[in-house]
Structure 1
Amino acid sequence: MGNKNTGKKYNEDFKKMIVDLYNSGSSAKGLSSEYGVSEVTIYAWVKKFSPIQTEDGSTVTADEIANMKKQMLRLQEENEILKKAMAIFAKK
């Protein structure tokens, strides 16, 4: 009947452990066969959890960048609401 999604859920610690093993030299193919996780999934976790060097020398992960973008959008929305409220109260 084709490929079925098994719906396995892995916790963050497990994902980070796999990424650490990959970064320490283990192959994605070896990790895939040992832990039963597809190579595509391992590469996605590596992309998500591997640190990115910034200009100031600090590191950040793609997951942290996504969270910061969400927070920035929420704060921008709150600012727009406050600006509109100030304009309403300034007229009174």
Structure 2
Amino acid sequence: MGAKQTRYSDECKAMIVELYRNGKTPSEITNEYGLCKMALYQWVNERKEITVENDTVTSLDIKTFKNRIRELEEENEILKKAMTIFAKR
């Protein structure tokens, strides 16, 4: 049988990444929290900070921004179509 998979909250992931950044070894973290090293490194990479014009963002933030932009563009298209329908009346 396969190993039981555990879901971690965003807060828990951020805490584990902070432990890694504060010098705790990957082996200690993976043993303590029961996760694989690949997951740990993925979380660390997602939360790697990038400084752009005095603002710090992570690749996870960028992914969130892109999703929000896509949602807003879809909403904008719906509103444009609704405007043309109501303008015809």
| TM-score, reference length from structure 2 | 0.80
- Residues 51 and 61 in structure 1, CA contact (< 8 A), matched pair in contact too: yes
Note the C-alpha offset of 1:33.
2.5
Deviations 1:18-50 (A, max 9, x none): 111211223323322333221111001112223
| TM-score, reference length from structure 1 | 0.78
Identity %: 40
Residue 70 (structure 2) pairs with residue 73 (structure 1): yes
Extract unaligned runs of 5+ from structure 2: none
State the Cα RMSD in Å. 1.8
Aligned residues: 89
